[in-house]
Amino acid sequence: MDPTDIARWQFAITTVYHFLFVPITIGLSAIIAGYEITWLRTRDERWLRLTKFFGKLFLINFAIGVVTGIVQEFQFGMSWSDYSRFVGDVFGAPLAVEGLLAFFLESTFLGLWIFGWDRLSPRLHAACIVLVHVGTLFSAYFILAANSWMQHPVGYAFNPDTGRAEMDDFAAVLLNKVQLVTFPHVVLSAYMTGAAFVLGVALWHLRRARTDEDRNVYRPAVRTGAWLVLVAALGVFVSGDVQGKIMTEVQPMKMAAAEGLYETEQPADFSVFQLGTLDGEHETFSVKIPGLLSFLATGTPNGEVEGINDLRAKYEQTYGTDPGAAYYSPGDYTPVIPLTYWTFRLMMGLGIAGAAVAAWALWATRNDRAPQGRSVLAATLALPFLPLLANAFGWIFTEVGRQPWAVFGLMTTERAVSPGLTTTEAWISLLSLTAVYGVLAVVEVRLLLTWIRKGAEELPPDVPTDTGEDRPLAFAY
């Protein structure tokens, strides 16, 4: 393997690993804020117990997520210095705002929330976790703005003297049409993931509950988690549909690769799965939905969808002139078809499966029922992972489908890697980071399992039942 391939593997491993924590952080912060506000409104201590229980799990996830996120920034200098030099003026701006505004907002108010249980009034304390969630949304927006620019560069001018893309319209970068559809899709998927995590954990405890008191604590978490999964899933499906049409407009090759569509078709069918080769030569068996790919790409079941061969010829004529040969290398402009094909289907399939299990959980817990049996255990184990893995496969599809471009139409991935990076250095970096991330995974799983088993602990007897502004919560976190 050459340094470029190793650097790509490293970025893929560390990025997918880091993003396992991101949707849970966004989703859990919203749910915890909802639980604490519900406690303030109802004075029902069940909601306070759930707030503190899932708050501990949130803090574990947040801490590991911060550690793994730091590596992301270092990689730009270690392995992708040419990329950093070319896009730094554009890419750096939203990332700087994310660090200076969003992360400081998150960390400041998270600290107040952690240490303010016995120092802040209940309403002010609840406002802190609300602001933490707002911070996660700001963070997501600015990071996604940077990524959306890689998918569809806007608001820049190429400077031939410096060989760099220079930003000339920050508003255009923030309001990129790819960004405007990506942000709601990612946030809704995060809500779905966080809710599935809550649902899975609460359902596991509901199955094990031996007293009415315990069942009364976990059943509301199961019901709210299930409803949130279903509502968020509906939003994910709608926003994903809109996003697919924008994707086809700005990166038609990605949609063609998602289907393995080599020849232009009108209408174009969508294969649920396919056996054979994905080089367009041999297809032994497939299950197709007529006109669905046309609808996903164009909004009409009879729309034309360009094939890989036609797009390849078009790209060969279009690209390679701007910003110049220094950032262009010839190729067929085709991503890895089997990977884009299956990650697209795994993204959708796992998301649908998560929604289906949530619907089953609602049905199984109707009329104060507490389901038992192996099916419940299987659901509790699967629920946290279904939307989480759907998120991961969605991002793999998004990034792999853009290849061979690091910045679509401007810079290929081959030209983005650090020119002085050697194979030995790349291997040392990859193996070291993978080992560290493996250790962090063990720490994360062990901490989560330890605190999940403890459950929503009973509150100490001196917890105040009123929510007056003049009284802090008389117990520490």
CA–CA gap between residue 434 and residue 196 (Å, rounded)? 27
Angle at 447 between CA 435 and CA 36, to 5 degrees: 130
CA–CA gap between residue 428 and residue 423 (Å, rounded)? 9
pTM above 0.85, yes or no: yes
| Partners of residue 275 on adjacent β-strands | 285
Q: Which residues of 16-81 form beta strands (DSSP E)? A: none
Mean per-residue pLDDT, 238-259: 93
DSSP secondary structure letter of residue 234: H
pLDDT of residue 28: 95
Domain ranges of the chain: 21-246+355-454
pLDDT of residue 475: 46
CA dihedral in degrees (366, 367, 370, 371; nearest 10)? -40
Phi-psi region of 459 (alpha: psi -120 to 50; beta: other; left: phi over 0): beta
Mean per-residue pLDDT, 413-417: 86
pLDDT of residue 433: 87
Q: Does residue 322 register a pLDDT over 50?
A: no
Who contacts 468 (Cβ-Cβ below 8 Å, separation ≥6)? Answer: 121, 122
Can you give the C-alpha Rg of the chain in angstroms? 24
Phi-psi region of 95 (alpha: psi -120 to 50; beta: other; left: phi over 0): alpha
CA dihedral in degrees (98, 80, 5, 273; nearest 10)? 30
pLDDT of residue 331: 59
* 138: its two tokens: 């700001």
pLDDT of residue 139: 92
Confidence of residue 324 (pLDDT cuts 50, 70, 90): very low
Q: Taking the CB of residue 105, how many other CB atoms lie within 10 A of it?
A: 18
Mean per-residue pLDDT, 310-317: 84
CA–CA gap between residue 152 and residue 175 (Å, rounded)? 11
Q: Which residues of 325-342 are buried (b: 16+ CB within 10 A; e: fewer)?
A: eebbeebebbbebebbbb
Q: Does residue 31 register a pLDDT over 90?
A: yes
Q: Are 107 and 87 in contact (CB under 8 A)?
A: no
Kindly give the residue spans of alpha helices, DSSP state H, lying in 175-211.
Answer: 177-208
Q: Taking the CB of residue 93, how many other CB atoms lie within 10 A of it?
A: 19
Q: Does residue 55 register a pLDDT over 80?
A: yes
How are beta strands 405-407 and 164-167 bridged, if at all? unpaired
CA–CA gap between residue 229 and residue 242 (Å, rounded)? 20
The mean-pLDDT minimum among 26-40, 99-113, 251-265, 266-280 falls in 266-280
CA–CA gap between residue 49 and residue 36 (Å, rounded)? 9
Mapped onto helix, strand or coil, the DSSP state of residue 319 is coil
Who contacts 460 (Cβ-Cβ below 8 Å, separation ≥6)? Answer: 475
pLDDT of residue 193: 95
Q: What is the pLDDT of residues 115-168, one digit of tens each?
A: 988 888 899 999 999 999 999 999 999 999 999 999 999 999 988 888 888 898
The mean-pLDDT minimum among 34-48, 87-101, 316-330 falls in 316-330
Who contacts 25 (Cβ-Cβ below 8 Å, separation ≥6)? Answer: 58, 61, 62, 65, 136, 190, 194
Confidence of residue 285 (pLDDT cuts 50, 70, 90): confident
Confidence of residue 320 (pLDDT cuts 50, 70, 90): low
CA–CA gap between residue 124 and residue 440 (Å, rounded)? 34
Instruction: Give the CA distances from residue 427 to residues 158, 159, 422, 440, in Å, rounded to whole numbers and listed in that order.
Output: 34, 34, 9, 20
